[in-house]
Amino acid sequence: MNAHELKQAVAKEAISRVATAHGDNLVLGIGTGSTAECFIAELPHLRDRILSTVSSSERSTALLRELGFEVKDLNDVDHVDVYVDGADESTAEGFLIKGGGAALTREKITAAKAREFICIADESKMVETLGTFPLPVEVIPMARTLVSDALNQLGGDTIWREGVITDNGNIILDVHGLRIDNPSTLESHINDITGVVCNGIFANRGADVLLISTPDGVVRIL
């Protein structure tokens, strides 16, 4: 199986999970990225079960609307039954790094409102310790150098992702070379840096269900 086929397989497994573990009139949260887009492509199989959707990016919103799904503002729903999204890295505990597509803040907000967070990925994203994938940090533009200096003091090498503007109008700094032994503590610490909007560690609200695609099939880790 190639990389795209692995993503398709885990997306189909997530559809099955939603269908069997959740009822009708679903408010469904959808993430961002290539694996999430494979999940979106399978959503017509659940059309009769979905009341409305919410989305973590403008791109995912456009794809959902192309398929005829209602996409609501998160403020207009009182809950999200289940949120489905991919990851750039994951541990077996469901701690994640996300944000390669620069949608980490909206992804984290949507995950926080969800009753269940299903993370879908292929086996190449599994690690024992987070940090091989550069950690994305969304930053207010005027705070770029202030935040970069603070992140470098944590032992990483911070690089501005030039030319990238988030859906919120902010910039992304990528922190290379961090070994994240205590993801919950580091997530909170980075968020406390003045000028940081959000960082891509998902540990304080990690995945509830972790589905990993392998050439031999999809494995549920959590």
**Which is nearest to 29 in space by CA: 101, 104, 79?**
79
C-beta of residue 174 within 8 angstroms of C-beta of residue 161: yes
pLDDT score for 30: 98
| Tokens representing residue 220 in the block | 């549920």
Ordered by start, the domain boundaries in the chain are 3-127+204-220, 135-200
Indicate if 187 belongs to the active site: no
pLDDT confidence of 194, banded at 50, 70, 90?
Answer: very high
**Which is nearest to 104 in space by CA: 76, 138, 127?**
138
pLDDT score for 124: 97
pLDDT confidence of 177, banded at 50, 70, 90?
Answer: very high
- Domain 3-127+204-220, CATH class in plain words: alpha beta
Q: What is the pLDDT of residues 145-169, one digit of tens each?
A: 999 999 999 999 999 999 999 999 9
Can you tell me the distance from the alpha carbon of 192 to that of 186, in angstroms, rounded to the nearest whole number? Answer: 10
Q: What is the pLDDT of residues 55-104, one digit of tens each?
A: 999 999 999 999 999 999 999 999 999 999 999 999 999 999 999 999 99
pTM beyond cutoff 0.95: yes
Can you tell me the distance from the alpha carbon of 92 to that of 90, in angstroms, rounded to the nearest whole number? Answer: 7
Q: Quick one: fold of 135-200?
A: Alpha-Beta Plaits (3.30.70)
Query: What is the residue-averaged pLDDT of the chain?
Result: 97
Task: Using alpha carbons only, give the angle 74, 80, 83 rounded to the nearest 5 degrees.
Answer: 100
Among residues 13, 107, 138, 187, which one is catalytic?
107
